[in-house]
Chains A and B, each alone.
Chain A
Amino acid sequence: MSDKKEELIALIRQASDEVTEIANSTPFGVNIKTESLLSVCELLYKNPAAYFDMLSCITGIDNGVEAGTMEVIYHLYSIPLNQSIALKVILPRDNPEVESVSSIWKSANWLEREVCDMFGINFKNHPDLRRILMPADWKGYPLRKDYKHEEYYRNIKIEY
Chain B
Amino acid sequence: MKQQQYLYKEDNLIDSEPNKFRESELKSEEMIINLGPQHPSTHGVLRLEVLSDGEIIKEVVPHIGYLHRCFEKHAESLPYNQTIPFVDRMDYVAAMNSEHAYAMGVEKMLGISEQIPKRVEYIRVLVAEMNRIASHLIAVGTYGLDLGSFTPFFWIMRDREHILRLLEWASGARMLYNYIWIGGLFYDLPVGFEQRCREFITYFRPKVAELETILIDNKIFINRTANVGVLPLNLAINSGITGPMLRASGLRFDLRRVDGYSVYPELEFEIPIGEGKMGKVGDCWDRTWVRVKEIYESLKIMEQCLAKLEGEHKRTREFDPQALVPKKIRPKAQELYMRAENPKGELGYFFRADGKSDVPFRCKARACSFVNLSILPDLSRGVLIADLIAILGSIDIVLGEVDR
Segment touching A, from B85-93, B301-309, B333-341, B382-390 = B333-341
Q: B39 an interface residue at 8 Å Cβ cutoff?
A: no
Contact among A55, A132, A142 with B70 in the assembled complex (CB-CB below 8 Å): A142
Q: Cβ of B370 and Cβ of A135 under 8 Å apart? A: no
Nearest CB on B from A92, distance (A): 18
Chain B: residues with Cβ within 8 Å of the partner, total of 49
Residue from B16, B240, B334, B361 with most neighbouring chain A CB atoms (10 Å):
B240
Q: Which of B195-240 contact A (CB under 8 A)?
A: 235, 237-240
Min CB–CB distance A72 → chain B (angstroms): 11
> Is residue A130 contacting chain B, with contact meaning CB distance below 8 A?
yes
Q: Main SS of chain B's interface residues?
A: mixed
Complex contact B73–A142 (CB within 8 A): yes
Residues of B within 8 A of A73 (CB): 335, 350
Asked if A134 is an interface residue, CB under 8 A from chain B, the answer is: yes
Q: Which of B4-12, B127-135, B174-182, B183-191 contacts A (4 or more CB under 8 A)?
A: B4-12
| A16 CB within 8 Å of chain B | no
Q: Chain B: which residue is nearest A62 at the CB level?
A: B362
Q: Which chain B residues lie closer than 8 Å to A154 at the CB level?
A: 6, 12, 16
In the complex, the answer to whether B251 meets A156 with C-beta atoms within 8 Å is no
**Which of B15, B72, B258 has a CB less than 8 Å from the CB of A136?**
B15
Task: Indicate whether A59 reaches chain B with its CB closer than 8 angstroms.
Answer: yes
Q: Does B40 contact A (CB under 8 A)?
A: no
- Residue of B whose beta carbon sits closest to that of A128: B20
Q: Which residues of A contact B17 (CB under 8 A)?
A: 135-136
Contact of B70 with A107 in the complex, beta carbons under 8 Å: no
* Minimum CB–CB distance for A96 against chain B, Å: 16
Contact A56 B7 (CB under 8 A): no
CB distance from A110 to the nearest CB of B (A): 4
CB–CB A143/B337 < 8 A:
no
A82 and B370 CA atoms in complex are apart in Å by 23
Q: Which residues of A contact B6 (CB under 8 A)?
A: 154-156
B68 within 8 A of A: yes
Contacts of A61 in B (CB 8 A): 352, 361-362
Decide yes or no whether A29 CB sits under 8 A from chain B: yes
CB of B117 closer than 8 Å to a CB of A: no
Q: Is the CB of A118 within 8 A of B72?
A: yes
Q: Digitize A16-45: 1 where CB-to-B-CB distance is under 8 Å, 0 elsewhere.
A: 000000101111010000000000000000
Q: Which of B325-354 contact A (CB under 8 A)?
A: 332-339, 346, 348, 350, 352
Q: Report how far A53 CA is from B348 CA in the complex, Å.
A: 17
Residues of A within 8 Å of B335, CB to CB, are: 22, 24-26, 29, 73, 86
What string of 1s and 0s marks CB contacts (under 8 Å) between A47-63 and chain B?
Answer: 00000011111010100
| Known contacts A79-B251, A107-B371, A107-B374: A56-B346 contact under CB 8 Å | yes
Give complex CA distance A75, B404 in Å: 20
Does A122 sit at the interface, judged by CB under 8 A?
no
Chain B CB within 10 A, most for which of A56, A57, A155: A57
Question: Are B334 and A25 interface neighbours, CB within 8 A?
Answer: yes
Instruction: Decide yes or no whether A111 CB sits under 8 A from chain B.
Output: yes
Q: How far is the CA of A55 from the CA of B238 in the complex (A)?
A: 8
Cβ contact of B240, chosen from A56, A133, A137, A155, cutoff 8 A: A56
Chain B residue numbers with a CB within 8 Å of A135 are 16-17, 65
CB distance from A104 to the nearest CB of B (A): 8
Interface residues of A (CB under 8 A from B): 22, 24-27, 29, 53-57, 59, 61, 73, 75, 79, 82, 84, 86, 105-107, 109-111, 114, 118, 128, 130-137, 142-143, 154-157
Kindly list 11 other residue pairs between chains A and B, CB separation below 8 angstroms, not including A59-B362, A143-B76. Answer: A25-B334, A26-B108, A53-B237, A54-B237, A75-B337, A79-B237, A105-B238, A105-B240, A136-B17, A155-B6, A156-B6
